[in-house]
Amino acid sequence: MVFQTSRLLVRQLTYDDFEPFHEMQSNFNVMQYASGKAQSFEENKADLKKVINHYSEKNNGFWVWAIEGKSNGELIGTAAMIVDEKNEGEIGYRLLEKYWGNGYATEILKDLIDFGFEKMKLKAIHANVDVRNIASVKMLDKSILKYIGEEWNEEFQSNDRFYRLEQIST
């Protein structure tokens, strides 16, 4: 286990997670603001393998974990922390559509930020979101991350909002 919240466990993904992982990644509603397209069975197989292989890499900076419901033991989504060479992390998350609207993303966000600063010893944490992803914009606006501004994302042809928080030195 990586960390837990009152209702959720965050742990490493396993190959046993493939079915719900594929369900999530092949759903356009979930993926539209991430990659812009639903992924195929083969793409998801390769993606899960890549994520799992990162766990054992020395100096890994690409962390994608399973979010599991404590009450049902089911995979409900993924949480990510992508660490760059400046020791700053970019957070991300995805939930299976059937779990939307339960406050899980908000619950994960707070503890993911805490984990990044306290356990990973990151200097800063940031997030970016397509302005059309209204639920995530609202969640990030209410988080402890500070709104920085908006910028055009040429790759995804979208206007993205940026958020950031730096570690407070003690």
- Tens digits of residue pLDDT in 52-79: 999 999 999 999 999 999 999 999 999 9
pLDDT of residue 37: 92
Contact 30, 49 (CB under 8 A): no
Query: Would you state the structure tokens that stand for residue 53, as one six-digit string?
Result: 């292989």
Its domain, for residue 77, covers 3-125
Q: Within a domain: residue 133?
A: no
CATH number (domain holding residue 34): 3.40.630.30
Q: Within a domain: residue 107?
A: yes
Average pLDDT, the chain: 95
Q: Within a domain: residue 23?
A: yes
What residues contact residue 35 under an 8 Å CB cut-off, 6+ apart? none
3-class DSSP state of 41: helix
Q: Within a domain: residue 149?
A: no
Q: Within a domain: residue 28?
A: yes
Q: Within a domain: residue 148?
A: no
- Tokens 């490493």 belong to 12
Q: Identify the band that residue 9 occupies on the pLDDT scale cut at 50, 70 and 90.
A: very high
Whole-model pTM: value is: 0.93
What residues contact residue 20 under an 8 Å CB cut-off, 6+ apart? 74, 75, 76, 96
What residues contact residue 94 under an 8 Å CB cut-off, 6+ apart? 24, 25, 30, 31, 34, 77, 78
Q: Within a domain: residue 164?
A: no
Number of domains present in the structure of the chain? 1
Q: Within a domain: residue 169?
A: no
